[in-house]
Amino acid sequence: MKILSIILIFIVALSCASEKPEGKTKAEVLFKEAKELMEDERFILATDKLNQLRNQYPYSYYATPAELMLADILYKQESYGDAMAAYIVFRDLHPKHEKIPYVVFKIAESYYNQLPDTFDRDLEMGVEAIKYYNELLLKYPDSIYVKDAKSKIERCKDMIRKKEKYIADFYFKTESFKAAKWRYLDILDNFSDPKLRSYATRKAIETSYELKQYDFCSEFAEKNKSDLVVQEDQKEALAIAGKCTRKVKRTKA
């Protein structure tokens, strides 16, 4: 009797495990099966079901959401490069789909998740992430993803700021003053952070002095002194600018 009970339990469990989701069409059944498999992290089987759906029922209502689910599976597998490409294809093929805000956010996330851990490495993925986060903010300002997008834009920008400063400082420390000067000027052209601008202004004045570009040094300091919002930067920059001005006067005397 005990053995019979065990067998019955096994049969019931097996039937439950193999029970297919209900659906009005075969395409719907395949889609629901794929969704369940994805939720169970059985990604290969889920992908097979979705590909079967798309190949056998390309004009089904479920063919389009199947495309999106395939992209989601790639994302869940942390294949961010492939996921990003899949989301972009979906966006391009279905620009008016109701889930486009989600898709744009996922494109940005796919780039964001490929950022390096430290700012001294290639940050191109951060630049691309910012582009798509900004697309989301511009086109879908009421999206539920806006708050998260803004937060991640700031992290990307902070890494980029730190990298630009790091590179400029490297050139300065190695006495490659010409390269350092243009890096500091580039920071002033592209960033609005007050402290960073203050620092870059001071260092641009310093590099000009080291390059013996006394006219530029003096004129640049006068023109950009309002950027010297940090007291230490202001003190050092104006002292060097004073030296430049005296050099110019001696030359003209």
* pLDDT score at 37: 96
Residue 40 falls inside a structural domain: no
Predicted model pTM: 0.81
Residue 233 falls inside a structural domain: yes
Residue 251 falls inside a structural domain: yes
Residue 180 falls inside a structural domain: yes
* pLDDT score at 7: 41
- In sign, the C-alpha dihedral spanning 176, 181, 186, 188 is positive
* pLDDT score at 250: 84
DSSP, residue by residue, the chain: -HHHHHHHHHHHHHHHHHPPPP-SSHHHHHHHHHHHHHHTT-HHHHHHHHHHHHHH-TTSTTHHHHHHHHHHHHHHTT-HHHHHHHHHHHHHH-TT-TTHHHHHHHHHHHHHTT--SSTTS--HHHHHHHHHHHHHHHH-TT-TTHHHHHHHHHHHHHHHHHHHHHHHHHHHHTT-HHHHHHHHHHHHHH---HHHHHHHHHHHHHHHHHTT-HHHHHHHHHHHGGG--SHHHHHHHHHHHHHHHHHHHHHH-
Do residues 126 and 161 lie in contact, with contact meaning Cβ atoms separated by under 8 Å? Answer: no
* pLDDT score at 23: 59
- Dihedral angle computed from the Cα positions of residues 48, 62, 132 and 138, in that order, rounded to the nearest 10 degrees: -170
Convert the pLDDT of each residue in 183-226 to its tens digit: 999 999 999 999 999 999 999 999 999 999 999 999 999 999 99
* pLDDT score at 249: 85
Residue 118 falls inside a structural domain: no
Domain that holds residue 234: 175-253
For the chain, how many structural domains are there in total? 1
Residue 234 falls inside a structural domain: yes
Query: pLDDT under 70 in the chain at which residues?
Result: 1-23, 253
Rounded distance between C-alpha atoms, residue 133 and residue 107, angstroms: 9
